Amino acid sequence: MNDQEIYGVIGEEGFGRLVAAFYRQVPSDDILGPMYPKDDLAGAERRLRDFLVGRFGGPPRYVEERGHPALRMRHAKFAVGTAARERWLTLMTRALDETGLPPEVDAVLRPFFVAVANMLVNRPD
């Protein structure tokens, strides 16, 4: 499946459920919990959802509101080591398992998350 077709298949609803399932795990996580803004988790959830929606063929809300994603730059203020990367991917893998998106969508999203998470490591061991 083409990246740009994904929004047409799972819509706001699919991305919304996925990202909610991810953020539900964040507050109690010993590595990621302290990194995310406690007073604006709903905002963080919306930013990731809007980014994914725009990246996979939906409305470009993220770019309209935040500008170019520049994800490496936006993560520079967080120390992303390999443990944080592994944990982020563990939580997202669980979220994908729980959300049960159509297999052809799931098969695009899993490797996408791995590739971006690898790119975001800014404190290699």
Q: Is 22 in the site for ligand HEM (CB under 6 A)?
A: no
Shortest spacing between CB 26 and ligand HEM, in angstroms = 9
Q: How many CA atoms lie within 13 A of 48 on its CB side?
A: 20
Q: Give the count of beta carbons closer than 10 Å to the beta carbon of residue 27.
A: 12
| Site track 79-98 with ligand HEM (rule: CB under 6 A), x = hit | -x---xx--x----------
Residue closer to ligand HEM by CB (options 35, 108) is: 35
Which tokens sit at 26? 């964040």
Q: Rounded to the nearest whole angstrom, what is the least distance from the CB of residue 115 to ligand HEM in the complex? A: 8
Report the number of secondary-structure helices (H) and strands (E) in the chain. Answer: 6, 0
